[in-house]
Structure 1
Amino acid sequence: MNAPVRRLSFLVGLLFASLLVSTTLIQYVFAADLNARPDNRRTLLATYARERGEILVGQTPVARSVPTEDEFKFQREYPDGPLYSHVTGFYSFYGAVGGLEQSEDPLLSGSSDKLFYRRVSDLFTGRRAQGATIETTLDPAVQQAAEQGLGQARGAVVALDPKTGAVLAMVSHPDFNPNRLAGHDLATVDENYRKLTEEPDRPLVNRAIGGDLYPPGSVFKVVVAAAALSDGEYTEDSVLPGPAALDLPLTSATLPNHDDVPCSPTGEVTLKQAMVVSCNPAFGDLGMKIGADALREQAAKFGFGDSPSVPMRVTPSSVPAELDAPQLAQSSIGQYDVRVTPMQMAMVAAGVANRGTVMSPYLVQSVIGSDLSVIESADPTELTQAVSPRVADELTDMLVATVDEGTGTKAQIPGVRVAGKTGTAEHGEGRRAHAWFISYAPADDPQIAVAVIVEDGGVSGSETSGGSVAAPIAKQVMEARLK
C-alpha cells in the first residue's frame, strides 16, 4: 500500500472513530442534559404525547388531559379554572409548575417508580402509557364556600378535618386561570405567564401555605393560653391584669388594648374573659410570666418550625428565637416577629378541636392506576400531642364563649356550638390591619377546623377586625361542611 492510500485509510478510520465517540457521548453521556433542555422539541413532544393522570375532587376531574388534533396529542385542561388553581398548579411548556401538578408530577406523568410494573405491562401489551390519577381530600362544597367568602379580597382560607388532618379546602386570593398557561401556542402562554409574574398582588403565590408569612395577631393567643394552662399554674379562672395599657419593662412604651379602654371595669380579668374580649394587656402580661421558652415550646408542639408536605411544601411558621420582655409581650399577642401560614393556624384550631392531638395535614386521599387499581391511599398520622385533653377542653370552653358572647359572635351557627378566636394583625405603619379568624365546629364533635386571613381588612371599609371581616367567612365555610 503506497503512502497516499495509507494516509487516506488513516483519515477514514479517524473519522469513523470520531463518529463513534460523538454518538456515544450524545446517547449516553449528554443524553440527560439534552433531554432536559427546554428547547428540545422531541422531548417536549414525547412528554405531551403521554396522557397525564387526572386530579379529582370527589369524582370530578379538576385537571385532565384532553386529545388534540395537533402534534402535541394532548392538552391539559382545568374545568373549574381559578377555583382550584393553587391546588392543581398548571402543566405547560414550562413543565409542571405549582400545586399537585408539580409535587405529584412523577405519578401524574407515569414516570414514578411506583408505576414501574404498570409501564412494563404496557410495554408488552402495547397499551398507551398513561399517568396515575390523584384523588384529593377536598370537599367541593367547602372549597366553593371559601372561594365565595373571600370574594375579591386578598387572603387565604384553609379548612381541615381535625380528626384526620385531611385538607377540606385550600383557597388563596388572588387566584389565576391555569387554562391560560396550558395552551399549545407558546407565544400566548409566555405572554400570559409574564403578565401573571408581573402582577403586584402575585396571583401565582399560594398564600395558604407560603409566600410572605403573616403576623397572626390575636389568634396566637390560643397558643399562649395553651402554654399557660399546660404549666399547671393557671386555669381559665386565673386573674390577670386588664388595664387600658400595660407598662412594659425596659422601655417607656406600653402595650395598649385594642380600643384603648380597660378590659373590664375593675381593670382585672380572668383568663377566660381575656380570651372572650381579646384583652391585649392580659396576654402580654401572661406571656412575660410564662416565659419565652415555654411559649416557643408550646408553639413547636402545634407544628411551628416544621415544614410539612401536603404534598406541597408548607413554609415553616416561626416564633423569634431571642426575645426580651417587651418583645415577648408583643409576641404574646401575635405581633413583633411571629409569622405564620394560614395552614399552621388551621392546625392550631384542629389540634385543640381534636382534644390536643395535631394530625399531619394531607391533600391526597389516594393514587389510582390507569387500570383503576389503588396504588396507595392516605394513612392519617398523628403529628404531635400539643396539649392534654383536659387543657383542650378548657380552651374549647373559652373559645365557645368567645363566639357566644365575645368578639366572634358573627361566626355563630344556629343550633351548633362553634369555637373560635378573632385576630387583628398590624403589619406596617399606615397600613390597614389583617383580619383573622380560626374556628372549629361542632365544638363537642368537631367535623371541620378553619383558618381565615383577609389581607388589609378586605373591602369592608373601616371595619378591619377579625370578628367583622373574617368570622363571617369562617361561618360560611363551616356551614358548607356541616350541611
Structure 2
Amino acid sequence: MSNQIAKLGVGLLACFLVLFVQLNRVTVFGAQELKDNPVNNRSILRDFDAPRGTIVTADEVIVARSEPTPEGSRFEFARSYPEGDLFAHTVGYFSLNLGATGVEDSYNAELAGRTIDLSFRSLDDLFVDRDRVGDVRLTLRADVQRVAKDLLGERQGSVVALDPRSGELLAMWSWPSFDPNALATQDFSAANDAFALFQADERDPLLAKTYRERYFPGSTFKVVTAAAGLASGEITADQPVYPVAREYTPPQTNRPLRNFGGSSCGGDLFDILRVSCNTAFAQMAVDLGGDQMVGTAESFGFNAAPPIDLPAPAQSVFPTDFEQNLPALAQAGIGQNDVSATPLQMAMVAAAVANEGRIMTPRTVADIRDVDNSVVDDPEPTQWRRAVSAEHAAVLRQAMVEVAERGTARNLAIPGFEVGGKTGTA
C-alpha cells in the first residue's frame, strides 16, 4: 500500500511540476508576446486609453502627441497630429478601430512605455506613480520635409532624402497624402468613413509610396549597370568605347532597342552615362551577362527587403534568369522589362556612390527618450551592404557629377557645390 501511495505522490508531484513550468512559461517568457498580439483586445484598449509618447522631428517639431480629452469622454487621451498630412506616411496613425501604421506601429512598445528601459529606470519607479512612456525623436527634419512637399506640389510622386554616411532619413514625402487626424479620431464612425474615402481614391493616398511602392527605375538604373561593368573588370572609365548608334539589336531578337528621341550616342563610360545612352548600356548588360548583373543589383539591395524601421517595406526586384532571354537582359540594363524599385531603393543606390560604396541601414528614428528627456536607446549607424568598392564608387561619383554639370541633369547644378545625379524616365 505504501508503495502505491509513493507512486501516486510522485505522479502528483510531476503534474504540479509541469503546471508550474507551463505557468512560468506563459507569465514570464510569453507575457510580452501575449501583450503585443494584435488580437489581444485588452492590450489594444490599454494602449489606447493611456498616455503615449510624443514623436518629434530632428528639428524639434512635434508631429504626434497625446492630448487629454474633455470630461465625460469614453477615453482619457486622444492622439493628434499637429502637422496634418506632412508626415502621415512615415509617422502613420494610431487608431482603436483601424490599427496603427508607420512609426506609431514600429515603435508602439516604446511609445506605450512597455520596454524594460522605460518601465523602471530607478528604485523610485517602484513607489512613484508617473507616466512611463517613451518619446521618439525622428531623423527626419520638418524643414526638409516641407521643401520636398512644396517642390513636388500636386504631382504624383515621391521624394526621399537621406544622409549617405549614417542612413538617417531626412525627408520621405509622397503625394497624394492624407490627414491622420481623420483616422485617429475617437468618433469611430467618422474614422471609418474617412478610411473608406481614402481607400476609394484611385491614387491610393494611404500607401507610403516612398518605401512600399515599386516603379520602373528607368535610366536611373544605369548607375547599377555601370557599377556591374566596373566590378567585372571589363569596364573602366575610358574603355571600351561604345560605337555611336541610334539603335541596338540584342541577340535572340530582330527587334532593335532605340535611344530616347531617336538620337545617336556612344563613347566611354563617362560619355554614355552623361547622355544616358540606351544602346550602349543595353549592350553593356548583354556583354556582362546575367550573373554579373544580378550579383551587382543584389549588392545594391535588390531582391531583398530593406531593413528600414518601418512596417512592411517593399522589396525592389531585379530578375534572376536571363539565360534564354538576352533581349530582357538588355532592357533590364536600362531599368526596364521586369526591373522595379522603390524610391527608397534608388536613393540608396545614389547614397552608395556617395559613401564610398557602402549602403547604411536606413532608419527614421534617431533615439528614444524617457519622461526626463534622458536617452534610453540611441542606435549606432550600421552598414547594410557593400555595393561596390571605394575605388569604383569614386569613378561612379565623378561620372554622376558630369551628368549634373554637362549632361542630362544640368538643371541640378548649384553654383559653389559639387552635385551629382542621374535622370530617368520609364
- Give the alignment's TM-score, normalised by structure 1: 0.76
Separation in structure 2 between the aligned mates of residue 134 and residue 176 of structure 1, nearest angstrom: 22
* Runs of 5+ consecutive residues of structure 1 not aligned to the other structure: 1-30, 426-483
Distance 1:45 1:318, change over 3 A: closer
State the Cα deviation string for residues 424-469 of structure 1 (Å, max 9, x = none). 11xxxxxxxxxxxxxxxxxxxxxxxxxxxxxxxxxxxxxxxxxxxx
Equivalent residues of 1:396, 1:419 under 8 A apart: yes
Equivalent residues of 1:331, 1:337 under 8 A apart: yes
Equivalent residues of 2:174, 2:209 under 8 A apart: yes
- Partner of residue 82, structure 1: 85
Identical counterparts, % of pairs: 39
Separation in structure 2 between the aligned mates of residue 157 and residue 375 of structure 1, nearest angstrom: 31
TM-fit CA distance, 1:252: 1.5
Distance 1:130 1:71, change over 3 A: farther
- Partner of residue 197, structure 1: 199
* Runs of 5+ consecutive residues of structure 2 not aligned to the other structure: 1-30
Q: Which residue of 236, 242, 245 maps to 1:243?
A: 245
- Partner of residue 187, structure 1: 189
- Partner of residue 47, structure 1: 47
- Partner of residue 13, structure 2: none
Q: How does 1:133-152 map to 2 (within 5 A)?
A: 133-152=135-154
- Partner of residue 284, structure 1: 282
State the Cα deviation string for residues 23-63 of structure 1 (Å, max 9, x = none). xxxxxxxx999999999997665433311101110222100
Equivalent residues of 1:55, 1:63 under 8 A apart: yes
- Partner of residue 167, structure 1: 169
- Give the alignment's TM-score, normalised by structure 2: 0.86
- Give the SS at the match of 2:209: coil
Separation in structure 1 between the aligned mates of residue 398 and residue 39 of structure 2, nearest angstrom: 61
Separation in structure 2 between the aligned mates of residue 142 and residue 216 of structure 1, nearest angstrom: 24
TM-fit CA distance, 1:311: 0.6
Separation in structure 2 between the aligned mates of residue 36 and residue 386 of structure 1, nearest angstrom: 36
State the Cα deviation string for residues 388-418 of structure 1 (Å, max 9, x = none). 2221111111111111111001111111111
- Partner of residue 112, structure 2: 109
Distance 1:297 1:278, change over 3 A: same
Separation in structure 2 between the aligned mates of residue 395 and residue 343 of structure 1, nearest angstrom: 19
Equivalent residues of 1:256, 1:281 under 8 A apart: yes
Separation in structure 2 between the aligned mates of residue 78 and residue 182 of structure 1, nearest angstrom: 9
- Partner of residue 273, structure 1: 271
Separation in structure 2 between the aligned mates of residue 294 and residue 35 of structure 1, nearest angstrom: 47
- Give the SS at the match of 2:425: strand
Distance 1:35 1:143, change over 3 A: closer
Give 2:285's aligned amino acid: G
Equivalent residues of 2:45, 2:96 under 8 A apart: no
Equivalent residues of 1:50, 1:130 under 8 A apart: no
Q: How does 1:15-414 map to 2 (within 5 A)?
A: 46-58=46-58, 59-69=60-70, 70-94=73-97, 96-118=99-121, 122=125, 124-127=127-130, 129-211=131-213, 213-238=214-239, 239-263=241-265, 268-312=266-310, 313-323=312-322, 324-414=325-415
Equivalent residues of 1:301, 1:386 under 8 A apart: yes
Distance 1:388 1:43, change over 3 A: closer
Equivalent residues of 1:245, 1:255 under 8 A apart: yes
More strand per residue: 1
Give 1:244's aligned amino acid: R
More displaced stretch, 297-306 vs 43-52? 43-52
- Partner of residue 478, structure 1: none
Separation in structure 2 between the aligned mates of residue 35 and residue 363 of structure 1, nearest angstrom: 25
TM-fit CA distance, 1:270: 1.5
Aligned length: 390
More displaced stretch, 139-148 vs 160-169? 139-148
Give 2:49's aligned amino acid: A
Separation in structure 1 between the aligned mates of residue 85 and residue 342 of structure 2, nearest angstrom: 21
